[in-house]
Structure 1
Amino acid sequence: MNGHNGTDQYAASLSSIKEARERIKSYIQKTPVVTSETLNSMAGRGLLFKCECFQKGGAFKFRGASNAVFSLDEQQADKGVITHSSGNHAAALALAAKLRGIPAYIVIPSNAPKCKVDNVIRYGGQVIWCEPTMQSRQSTAAKVQQDTGAVLIHPYNDGRIISGQGTILLELLEQFSDIDTIIAPISGELSLGGGLISGVALAAKSIKPSIRVLAAEPVGANDAALSKENGRIVILPEVNTIADGLRATLGDLTW
């Protein structure tokens, strides 16, 4: 599950997504799918919403975090896990680590939303503050990892995370098998980074190749669209969106 840039081997597969589902099924919530006649009328088509807001930790991130944490062997897990995140991945990893009974070291930039920091603390994560730059996040995480021996669980650029997020699609197609189009969010150093869309697309195209998969991102943070246009990862000098989880760039594995 360790795909590398420049090869045609992906970091995840339908097989790894199915394995993830078996691994995490006793920890995650099976989330509901809802519809709205008002929105259906406005859109002129039948819309379904997979409500991962009802997932443990409040977001789909718990799927990937749980898969990563519970795939560690005992020797690895004994040292705990570490990540750098200001968003839902931070809380998800803290909760998954709590369920396994291991430490979670969470490097968080000083400008992170208070509600998200509170979630990390509530789930037992040990918060380590850093400056609000990617360089500071990475260097601080590297220092903590060196000091503790904890396993780094990247917010999105990790096959275990991609596989865990892909379990959403397995669940969704069991709930509604005749879906023809899926729209999923993409982007963000702070949160998504393509982990969700990668897992969803891999599973969807493997199970039902006719499904159309669309990736949605804010116009003011359209690095993924520009990356697709240019055939390489494009990093925007600045972004303009209130969606703090949809800011910044893709990883080489999600790319």
Structure 2
Amino acid sequence: MKAPTRPFSVGPVKPATTLVSESLQSRAFTSVPRCRMPTHSSCNEPNTLKYICITTSANFGNMVSMALAAPLLPFLPLAAKQILLNNFLSDVPSIAISTDNVDPETVTRPQRWKIRDVRHFMIVFGLVSSVFDLLTFAILLLIFHADEATFQTTWFIISLLTELAVVLVLRTHRPAFRSIPSRVLMWTTVVVSLAALSIPFLGSLASAFGFVRLSALEMGSVLVILAGYIAATEGVKAWFYRRHETPLKGAGRHPPALAKGSPAQRIRR
């Protein structure tokens, strides 16, 4: 005969919230290390968004300037080979954006890609660039009475230097001097800037692209316009990020407190 089996007893059923709380407090979860984001790190998504915004705004500004200037000038603002050289040189630091440092507050929350924000960025900063292009045209034509070669040489230098400078200014939501770019981005920008300033004085190479030597006064005006453009872009950037919604809005704030006695608060405990 078989021995009588013991009756199967069922204990009290625990609430679901208690089971979840016990699971979260188990060693399986507490042993998972916390990840830390370094103060300055290279991240693909924020840097990709930087590249898209900066490049679209620069292209939009250049096209607006060319469209406004072409009907008013007896010659082309830039020759085709000069445009190609400008694009090639400006693309070198732009490629280095992928190695750029990312400000800590940029990665505290996931970023969302919104076409509306990219469009606003493109229009605002593109038009700032166009204003200084038109200012350059006025100075060259009304003050220096520049001929075709001098006009193209001066605008080539200014347009290239402003494209390089705007990368360093718009790569961060902070003031540019409070955010350190990566070494690759900084050095490529410096090298291309020196190349832009020296190309008109390289003899046969300058002649091949239709450039001429500029006077000291003309080079000085280039630097003054560049400094004004950097200052104006910094001011517009501060206004833009105060006015428009950005992924950084609300970053760094503490999450809202949970209601006392709520299931979520019991789980946290």
Give the TM-score of the pair, scaled to structure 2.
0.23
Question: Larger radius of gyration, structure 1 or 2?
Answer: 2
Structure with greater helix share of residues: 2
Larger RCO of the pair (alpha carbons < 8 Å, separation 6+): 2
Structure with greater strand share of residues: 1
Give the TM-score of the pair, scaled to structure 1.
0.24
